[in-house]
Amino acid sequence: MDTLTVSQKMTQAQDFLPINGTDHIEMYVGNAKQAAHFYKTAFGFQSLAYAGPETGVRDVASYVLQQGKIRLVLTTPLSSKNPISEHVYKHGDGVKILALWVDDAYKAFEETTKRGAKVYMDPKTVTDEHGEVRMSGIYTYGETVHLFVERKNYKGLFLPGYKEWKSNYNPKDVGLLYVDHCVGNVGWGRMNSTIKWYEDVMGFVNILTFDDKQINTEYSALMSKVMSNGNGYVKFPINEPAEGKKKSQIEEYLDFYEGEGVQHIAVATHDIITTVRDLKSRGVEFLDAPPNAYYEDMTNRVGKIDEDIAPLQELGILVDCDEEGYLLQIFTKPVEDRPTLFFEIIQRKGAQSFGAGNFKALFESIEREQAKRGNL
């Protein structure tokens, strides 16, 4: 039995790689112009910056969207010869870069590569009239990358090379504030080496573990371990499929993404009921609500909460707790036709980690969708 709280465990992280938070998330997509429209219309992101032929970039187009502190970059290749085309061909639309905001991108590169990280981008300094940004990058699971971004001497909108994106179409935001965590799916037998990589190369600490005895149904199972940096601003849970009578949903992801990659991005709000109502009215599709018994049993599981249960049940919002408080969560359906990347909306009320009850409820509702797709 663990005797330390999650907050106490975080203090055991190593401090050779200080991280201030998520800098941005970049997705490689088949049509960035249309994807940007979707994330504005459905999720309430705001137009921020653009790079493409009109700004002197010849081979890709990138749209930068912002909401709260969340910056989402949507990039598409402009020809089959660009290597991004291969990424999109193989994986479909998906997350390529989980960029981390650091104070020293050169030192982040040195500290991680000397501990065995595979190089994605050698350290470089890019400049424009607004100052300089220093960047470097390493590979994590699959073809996914951690970019280190140091922007203390930069006053521009996003990065050098990008221009302001002025749009006449500006739907209002839905109250999304920051990236809470990003989850990776890894292949059979790859959990331990991935966890060790985050411990050894990034100095992260394992704050929570769910095994296949906790997260299972009659048919399938998965294992999950949550990795966090020392201040808890960056959390990367990792999932691995586990043996069951039928196919694990993590295996379904691996089959359709054709490899390891980001399963979901969790974004925080201070008012999940209003945010989710808004998202639903804009056409965002969420997983089915759990059975009524989930809500009838809720007070026993999590104790007293500030919210009325009726709207939570109506919207299908899940509630769980850890030793420090509770949290409210809901999960979208995949945001592309392949059953790969989806989003989570989360509101934390004291809890720093996650609860097994919600994890299991999520797993069961994904499995119902998996069965509909004929992939169970």
For residues 72 and 108, which CB has a smaller minimum distance to Fe ion in the complex?
A: 72
Residue 251: phi, psi to the nearest 5?
-70, -35
Q: Provide the token pair at 136.
A: 């470097």
Q: Is 248 helix (H, G, I), strand (E, B) or coil?
A: coil
To Fe ion, the closest distance from the beta carbon of 47 in angstroms equals: 27
Amino acid at 209: T
To Fe ion, the closest distance from the beta carbon of 329 in angstroms equals: 7
For residues 344 and 369, which CB has a smaller minimum distance to Fe ion in the complex?
A: 344
To Fe ion, the closest distance from the beta carbon of 184 in angstroms equals: 11
For residues 39 and 210, which CB has a smaller minimum distance to Fe ion in the complex?
A: 210
What residues numbered 151-180 form the site for Fe ion, per CB under 5 A? Answer: none
For residues 145 and 266, which CB has a smaller minimum distance to Fe ion in the complex?
A: 266
What residues numbered 313-352 form the site for Fe ion, per CB under 5 A? Answer: 344
The alpha carbon dihedral of 356, 286, 324, 232 has a sign of positive
289 binds Fe ion (CB under 5 A): no
266 binds Fe ion (CB under 5 A): yes
To Fe ion, the closest distance from the beta carbon of 370 in angstroms equals: 17
367 Cα distance to chain centroid:
20
150 binds Fe ion (CB under 5 A): no
Q: Provide the token pair at 80.
A: 């089959």
Q: Which stretch binds Fe ion (CB under 5 A): 36-44, 102-110, 116-124, 261-269?
A: 261-269
Amino acid at 361: A
Q: Is 34 helix (H, G, I), strand (E, B) or coil?
A: helix
C-alpha separations of 22 from 98, 127, 232 in Å = 7, 21, 11
For residues 154 and 331, which CB has a smaller minimum distance to Fe ion in the complex?
A: 331
Helix %, strand %, coil % of the chain (to 5): 25, 35, 40
To Fe ion, the closest distance from the beta carbon of 283 in angstroms equals: 22
- Binding residues for Fe ion, rule: CB under 5 A, are 266, 344
